């Protein structure tokens, strides 16, 4: 039994759990299915510990306003009634639930789950540095330390040094810079709302000019960009806009993260294989940057810990989860290849957190495929070229034993499928390994 602390309310023990991953990595479905399983805990397919029973599950509000609450009922409706993958309405959300465990005789457990996108990790320096001037210096040092970043930001810095450049032209050139970074799989896209807006939406455009026109470098009407010291005095509004963005977008994320003693990191391995080595390198760097913010001995992590010293708790457990694993063939789960790729990708991140317990899990929160009759095939209702949503048998690529030295987008092929969830709310979706993840983060 863990010792009580100031988060324990009466005979309730409260555990704060962060759930993160890159956009479209399965966070919403993971949390929806998990809550659904707990709400209908009489189901035999969700096993916790040694015959542990869950009773008396109910929600409780944790958000300061409705926008911050995880819309469990709405997302369950999308899965069960409409057979659609739910679309998020906000980038970050929180969900609170309470229940009794048969193995805890004295306490009811409360879970506060904080769902936040990995893309926000690019704003860690904004959280740690209250001053726009310090952030600008930090960004300039980062750009100068990497030749690919130097090349991407060169046109922007050239524009900033021109005396005749106005704010509109300068911000457009910075948005073009951020677009170049996205298209070249460079993860430090800050302000991060350029990559993932506050409604949880990623860009639809796929060219530099279209991205620059579609997205925003900051809040609407209050954009900003880092500048060399000699140019900052020409754009005095940037400092106030930086502070507003930091206060309204960034600090709430990292303040809530500082309260989490457990962390779930979802990694969509089929998507990384299908997307090519550039996408893999990008996602792995986001993971390493996240770990850096959690280390008290790192530059950014140390500043964040001091900033939230009255709220922060010790992170003691991380679950690395291979999500959407029903999209690969069951043989590659049974032979351990999926878990092996997960362990290979996260090995360095695990090593950077030597005092934190790590677990590795293969998971499908809403299992929507089944083994096909032919070798290497699955059966499901595919999303592409299937308006009638008929069940189809299709071939999927074999998962490699190790991450290749290099591979191109499309070299590995996996299908997007429609969710197969019961219309009867009393019956939670079929899943793979979701109970093991929950047992690990809640025990």
Q: Where are the alpha helices (DSSP H) in 62-123?
A: 72-80
Kindly tell me the sign of the dihedral angle through the C-alpha atoms of 46, 48, 54, 57.
negative
With pLDDT > 90 as the criterion, what percentage of the chain qualifies?
A: 74
pLDDT tens across 368-405, in order? 999 999 999 999 999 999 999 999 999 999 999 999 99
The reported pLDDT for the residue numbered 360 is 98
Whether residue 408 contacts residue 374, with contact meaning beta carbons closer than 8 Å, is answered with: no
Query: If you average pLDDT over residues 73-86, what whole number do you get?
Result: 93
Smallest CA-to-CA distance from 193 within 150, 159, 244 is with 244
| Token pair belonging to 145 | 């330390």
Domain membership of residue 18 (yes or no) is: yes
Q: Of the residues 219, 248, 277, which one is the last residue of a structural domain?
A: 248
Domain total in the chain: 2
**62 pLDDT above the threshold of 80:** yes
pLDDT at residue 46, rounded to an integer: 84
pLDDT at 67: 67
Same domain for 293 and 318? Answer: yes
- Provide the edge-to-edge strand list for the sheet that holds 370-371: 370-371, 377-381, 391-395
- Classify residue 4: in a domain, yes or no: no
Grade residue 65 by pLDDT with cuts at 50, 70 and 90: low
Please give the mean pLDDT across all residues of the chain: 91
Is the pLDDT confidence value at 3 over 80? no
The residue-averaged pLDDT of 324-338 equals: 98
- Residue 322 backbone phi and psi in degrees, to 5: -80, 100
Tokens of 108: 């009811």
User: Which residue range(s) make up the domain with 148?
Assistant: 129-248
Q: Provide mean pLDDT across the span 28-33.
A: 96
Pair (269, 410) in one structural domain: yes
What's the mean pLDDT in 328-356?
A: 97
Statement to judge: residues 208 and 298 lie in one domain:
no
The band of 10, judged by pLDDT with boundaries at 50, 70 and 90, is very low
90 and 192 assigned to the same domain:
no
The answer to whether position 423 is within a domain reads yes
User: Distances from the Cα of 120 to the Cαs of 97, 197, 342, in angstroms?
Assistant: 25, 10, 22
CATH of the domain at 400: 3.40.50
The DSSP result for 146-178, as a single string, is -HHHHHHHHHHHHHHT-TT--HHHHHHHHHHHH
Q: Is residue 7 part of a domain?
A: no
Residue 42 CA to residue 405 CA, distance in Å, equals 46
More confident residue, 28 or 101: 28
Distance of alpha carbon 342 from the chain centroid = 16
Q: What is the mean pLDDT of residues 25-32?
A: 94
Q: Look at residues 248, 267, 284 and tell me which one is the last residue of a structural domain.
A: 248
**1: pLDDT confidence band, cut at 50, 70 and 90?**
very low
Residue with tokens 């880092």: 226
Q: Is the pLDDT of residue 4 over 50?
A: no
The Cα 87–Cα 93 span in angstroms is 13
26 Rama sector, left if φ>0, alpha if ψ -120 to 50, beta otherwise: left
pLDDT band at residue 147 using 50, 70 and 90 as cut-offs: confident
Give the pLDDT confidence score for residue 2 in this predicted structure: 37
User: Which among 203, 226, 248 is the end of a domain?
Assistant: 248
Do the domain assignments include residue 95?
yes
Top-confidence residue, 26 or 103? 26
Q: What pLDDT is stored for residue 63 in this prediction? A: 65
pLDDT (0 to 100) of residue 103? 82
The region of weakest confidence among 59-63, 120-124, 421-425, 426-430 is 59-63
312 and 428 share a domain? yes
pLDDT at 373: 96
313 and 186 within one domain = no
201: phi then psi, degrees, rounded to nearest 5: -100, 135
As a whole-number percent, the residues of the chain with pLDDT over 70 amount to 96
In this structure, of 38-47, 103-112, 266-275, 356-365, the range with the lowest mean pLDDT score is 38-47
What's the whole-number mean pLDDT along residues 289-299?
91
Q: Examine the domain organization and report whether 283 and 339 are in the same domain.
A: yes
Cα–Cα distance measured from residue 138 to residue 1, given in angstroms and rounded to the nearest whole number: 43
Residues 185 and 277 in one domain: no
Name 230's Cβ contacts closer than 8 Å, sequence gap at least 6.
Answer: 161
Position 331 in a domain = yes
Structure confidence at residue 395 (pLDDT): 97
Q: Which two tokens stand for residue 235?
A: 């754009």
Q: Are residues 322 and 434 in the same domain?
A: yes
Residue 2, in any domain of the structure: no
In Å, the largest CA–CA distance within the chain is 72
Same domain, 25 and 145: no
Whether 299 and 410 map to the same domain: the answer is yes
Residues 282 and 388 in one domain: yes
- Is 1 contained in some domain? no
């Amino acid at each position: 039994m863990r010792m009580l602390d100031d988060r324990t309310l009466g005979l309730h023990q409260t555990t704060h759990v962060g759930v993160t991953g890159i956009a479209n990595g399965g966070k919403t479905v993971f949390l929806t299915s998990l809550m659904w399983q707990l709400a209908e805990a009489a189901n035999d397919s969700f096993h916790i510990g040694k015959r542990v029973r869950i009773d008396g599950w109910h929600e409780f509000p944790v958000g300061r306003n409705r926008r911050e609450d995880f819309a469990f009922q709405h997302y369950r409706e999308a899965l069960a009634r409409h057979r659609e993958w739910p679309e998020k309405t906000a980038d970050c959300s929180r969900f609170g639930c309470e229940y009794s465990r048969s193995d805890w005789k004295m306490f009811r457990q409360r879970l506060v789950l904080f769902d936040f996108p990995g893309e926000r990790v690019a704003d860690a320096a904004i959280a740690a540095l209250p001053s726009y001037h310090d952030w600008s210096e930090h960004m300039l040092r980062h750009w100068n330390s990497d030749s690919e970043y130097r090349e991407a930001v060169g046109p922007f810095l050239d524009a900033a040094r021109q005396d005749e450049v106005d704010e509109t032209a300068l911000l457009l050139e910075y948005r073009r810079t951020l677009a170049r970074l996205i298209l070249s799989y460079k993860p430090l896209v800050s302000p991060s709302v350029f990559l993932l807006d506050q409604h949880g939406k990623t860009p639809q455009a796929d060219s530099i000019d279209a991205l620059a026109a579609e997205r925003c470098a900051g809040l609407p009407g209050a954009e900003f960009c880092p500048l060399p010291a000699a140019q900052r005095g020409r754009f005095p509004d940037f400092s106030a806009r930086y502070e507003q963005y930091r206060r309204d977008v960034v600090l709430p994320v990292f303040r809530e993260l500082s309260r989490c003693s457990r962390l779930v990191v979802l990694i969509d391995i089929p998507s990384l294989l299908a997307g090519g080595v550039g996408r893999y390198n990008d996602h792995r760097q986001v993971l390493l940057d996240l770990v850096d913010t959690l280390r008290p001995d790192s530059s950014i992590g140390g500043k964040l810990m001091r900033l939230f010293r009255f709220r922060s708790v010790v992170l003691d457990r991380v679950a690395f989860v291979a999500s959407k694993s029903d999209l690969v063939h069951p043989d590659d789960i049974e032979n351990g290849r999926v878990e092996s790729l997960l362990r290979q990708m996260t090995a360095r991140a695990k090593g950077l957190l030597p005092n934190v317990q790590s677990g590795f899990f293969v998971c499908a929160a809403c299992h929507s495929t089944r083994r096909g009759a032919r070798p290497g095939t699955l059966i499901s209702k595919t999303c592409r070229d299937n308006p009638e949503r008929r069940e189809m048998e299709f071939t999927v690529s074999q998962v490699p034993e190790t991450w290749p030295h290099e591979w191109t987008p499309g070299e590995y092929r996996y299908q997007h499928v429609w969710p197969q969830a019961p219309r009867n709310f009393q019956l939670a979706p079929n899943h793979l390994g979701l109970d093991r993840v929950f047992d690990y983060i809640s025990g």
